[in-house]
Amino acid sequence: MEKKNQTMEQSASINLSTPIRCIVKLGGAAITCKNELETIHDENLKEVSLQLRESMNVQSPSGKILGMDWSKGAGESEISCSINDFSAVPAMDSSSFIVVHGAGSFGHFQASKSGVHKGGLNKPLVKAGFVATRISVTKLNHEIVRALAREGIPSVGVSPFSCGWSTNMRNIASADLSAMTNAIDSGFVPVTHGDAVLDDELGCTILSGDVIIRHLAAHFKPEFVVFMTDVLGVYDRPPLDSTAVLLREIEVHEDGSWSVVKPTLENISKVKTDVAAHDTTGGMETKILEAAMIARLGIDVYIVKAGTNHSLRALRGELRGNVPEDWLGTVIRFSK
């Protein structure tokens, strides 16, 4: 409890020169091929990166994209980067974003096989699983940072474990945000992720991207939060069910309960969702709960399908007033 208070005190001193416009969660299901181990959904990731660039106003006066991933391509001996393109460019300011991503088909296998989320670092299998999980999720983080950098987004990878974030019985116990704050103030876009972390009680556990989002939202107070997923939004039952109904607007009440405002169907009382067997950090229900907790802070949350026109409009902040009829997704708001 004392630790928790410390964290809250630290947060009080966060003073960004530019407020955060948006915290965006790239759901694991949206950017990886969920049923193919450690495989990125390149097409989706490319599209998501394009949309992020567009909504962050990252652009050079010539309209040219100034790529920042100067890595050697596979089979190449030279690095291609057009350094001359930068010479005539004035200093650029992009809107402040933070990107958080899930693990999808990275990390979950390693975590669930070893039981990292249950703790017990004195067991060799758990310790090995911790190492293996971190290798897998940081690999994904690296690829996402590269994809964003290729679009000219000044992205920097920031791993919770490396930052010294830790939990106590799976709740965030310590999460110093000064590194992230300084990165943002210097014009970078931090890219963080669900990670294996140390836990004061359990030894270790998995800190999910959704819990991180809530923590970041509470401390950075962004204008809005966007969850990118692989379906249009939140449904009243598994989306593959042909009778599933998209919940367009959810209202969160002072006491933390929530109700569906739109559509006005009587039979939507309990939302049924499925949780994939290898998903160690919970499924859609966890997401709604996390989103509801963010909304209670007075921050609008949009749950959208990645790479669609709907996600682009959400990222641009077009939904901040009334939600247009032709927009498909789920808005979760605090009821005043």
**Any bridge partners for residue 25, and if so which?**
100, 227
Contact 311, 51 (CB under 8 A): yes
Closest separation in Å from C-beta 164 to a copy of itself: 3
Q: Which of 164, 263, 298, 324 binds a copy of itself (CB under 8 A)?
A: 164
Determine if residue 283 is labeled as part of a ligand binding site: yes
Number of Cβ within a 10 Å radius of residue 111: 28
Q: Compute the distance between CA of residue 160 and CA of residue 172 in angstroms, rounded to an integer.
A: 11
Sole window of 12-20, 44-52, 149-157, 267-275 interacting with a copy of itself (rule: CB under 8 A) = 149-157
Determine if residue 103 is labeled as part of a ligand binding site: yes
- The burial of 332, by beta-carbon neighbours within 10 Å (0-12 exposed, 13-18 middle, 19 or more buried), is given as buried
97 vs 130 by CB, closer to a copy of itself: 130
Determine if residue 108 is labeled as part of a ligand binding site: yes
Find the binding residues for a copy of itself in span 194-253 (CB under 8 A): 198, 203-204
> Prior bond to 154 cis, omega within 30?
no
**179 scored as a contact of a copy of itself (CB under 8 A):** yes
Task: Tell me the three state secondary structure of residue 331.
Answer: strand
Q: Compute the distance between CA of residue 228 and CA of residue 302 in angstroms, rounded to an integer.
A: 8
Residue 265 to residues 167, 270, 336: CA-CA distances in angstroms?
40, 12, 22
**90 scored as a contact of a copy of itself (CB under 8 A):** yes
Find the binding residues for a copy of itself in span 42-81 (CB under 8 A): 60, 66-72, 77-79, 81
Q: Which of 57, 62, 89, 253 binds a copy of itself (CB under 8 A)?
A: 89
Q: Compute the distance between CA of residue 181 and CA of residue 267 in angstroms, rounded to an integer.
A: 45
Interior CA angle at 179 toward 174 and 185, to 5°?
Answer: 135
CA 313 to chain centre: 17
Sole window of 144-152, 234-242, 306-314, 324-332 interacting with a copy of itself (rule: CB under 8 A) = 144-152
Q: What DSSP state is assigned to residue 116?
A: G
Q: Which of 6, 19, 64, 135 binds a copy of itself (CB under 8 A)?
A: 135
162 vs 259 by CB, closer to a copy of itself: 162
Helices 124-150 and 42-56 sit at what angle, rounded to 10 degrees?
60
102 vs 107 by CB, closer to a copy of itself: 107
User: Which among 42, 25, 152, 49 has a CA at the least distance from the CA of 98?
Assistant: 25
**132 scored as a contact of a copy of itself (CB under 8 A):** yes
204 vs 294 by CB, closer to a copy of itself: 204
Residues that bind a copy of itself (CB under 8 A): 36-38, 60, 66-72, 77-79, 81, 83, 86-87, 89-92, 109-110, 113-114, 121-125, 127-132, 134-136, 138-139, 142, 145-146, 149, 154-159, 161-164, 166, 176, 178-179, 182-183, 186-188, 198, 203-204
Binding residues: 103-104, 108, 209, 230, 283, 287
Task: Output the known binding site for substrate.
Answer: 103, 108, 209
Binding-site positions for ATP: 104, 230, 283, 287
